[in-house]
Amino acid sequence: MKRSLILLALLLLAPALAQKPKVVIGTGSTGGVFFYYGTALADILNKAGAVEAQPVQTGGSYDNLQLLRDRTNPQANTFYCALTTTDSAYVAYTGEEPRFKERPAKNQRVLFYMYPSFIHLVTTEKSGIKVVQDLKGKRVSTGQPGSSTENLALLVLQGAGVKPESFAKRERLPVAEGAKALAEGTLDAFFWVGGVPTSSIVELSQTLARKGDRIHLVPIDPKSTTAQVAMKRFPGLVEPYKVPKGVYNTRTDVPGLATGNILVCPDTLPAEAAYAIMKATFENLDTLRTAVAAAKDTSLEAAAKLYGKLPIPFHPGAERYLKEKGLVK
């Protein structure tokens, strides 16, 4: 009798347990901050019981937004959320990005702001590369094909009047491979759009120091034509940013540009689940910041600042949480 009552109770509980949404979080390549941030976030969400979260390694923003658009399946209670740069989310939403021209990712909704991603142009002091124009005749990686890194790298090159055809060799590598190639001397410079610090670049700095060389981040003056092209393309989304010299052991602080990073989820994700994600994240912010240094810029205030700045609406669940905290009206 007792056993049958337990079985009956389990059967009654089963539908409720099965209803917890499965949230797949698209991250990025190993060695980049997206990968570590998404993994840490999924762990927090699982431990808090907010949703059933699973991080997946991807090529970055555009891959994540395509998964959100194409793989979300409310009937199967499965929702793909994306870590993405604000510029990628913007062009995917408007359809300006070729991969989203026929089917814009109009179903994305913002949950919160994560941190800024610096447009790193990484080289070594011995390379002699001091300005973007010095890349002519060099072996350069512009980032993975179709990534946010590549798109922003091409904008920077356009602003500097440098064509990729002028390189001695063009590679299209993810950050870890770019750093390895630079350390081994098979590459002269690489672009990377990512959080500060990015672990692969920290490790590269240490490797170069052991070899008697030093990392050099090519500065981009926010007032220069080079910077203005990118800032005009994404007004309010690409902004001036400075990397302190202690981050990568550069000789000086490095001026340049950064884009923001956000978490977006599909509009079909239940409002209660989006609210639970917000609650779990911001009640465990110290845990997230301990796991990922870039998360120091993740805050409710930063999320509220983004509110109304993008054409992409906030998710109703996130909106409710921000309103409860008195940060948006």
Contact 116, 261 (CB under 8 A): yes
Residue 14, pLDDT score: 47
CA gap 83, 79 in Å, rounded: 13
- Which residue's entry shows tokens 């011995």? 126
Q: Is the pLDDT of residue 156 over 90?
A: yes
pLDDT at 19: 83
Predicted confidence (pLDDT) per residue in 247-263, tens digit: 999 999 999 999 999 99
Q: Give the position of tokens 């199967």.
A: 76
CA dist 259 and 31 (Å) reads 19
Is 187 in contact with 181 (CB distance < 8 Å)?
yes
- Give the pLDDT mean for 128-156: 95
Q: What does the pLDDT read at residue 3? A: 56
pLDDT at 17 over 70: no
Helix (H) or strand (E) segment spanning residue 24:
strand 22-26
Closest CA to 88 of 111, 122, 112, 117: 117
Percent of the chain residues past pLDDT 90, beyond the cut: 90
What is the distance between the alpha carbons of residues 277 and 271, in angstroms, rounded to a whole number? 10
pLDDT given for residue 189 in this prediction: 98
Report pLDDT for 85.
96
Return the pLDDT at 109: 98
pLDDT surpassing 70 at residue 61: yes
Percentage of the chain exceeding pLDDT 70? 95
**Interval 193-224: pLDDT, tens:** 999 999 999 999 999 999 999 999 999 999 99
* 217 vs 141: CA distance, rounded Å: 14
Task: Summarize the confidence of residues 277-294 as an average pLDDT.
Answer: 97
Could you write out the three-class secondary structure of 28-81? Answer: CCCCCHHHHHHHHHHHHHHHHCCCEEEEECCCCHHHHHHHHHHHCEHHHCEEEE
Distances in whole angstroms, Cα of residue 326 to Cα of each of 225, 284, 300, 320: 40, 19, 10, 10
- Ranges of beta strands (E only) in 71-160 are 78-85, 108-124, 139-141
pLDDT, residue 308, reads 85
Per-residue pLDDT at 13: 45
Average pLDDT, the chain: 94
pLDDT at 52: 98
pTM for the model: 0.87
DSSP character string of 163-209: -GGGSSEEE---HHHHHHHHHHTS-SEEEEEE-SS-HHHHHHHHHHH
Per-residue pLDDT tens for 176-195?
999 999 999 999 999 999 99
Range 47-71 average pLDDT:
97
Q: What is the pLDDT of residue 4?
A: 55
Mean pLDDT for 115-128 is 97
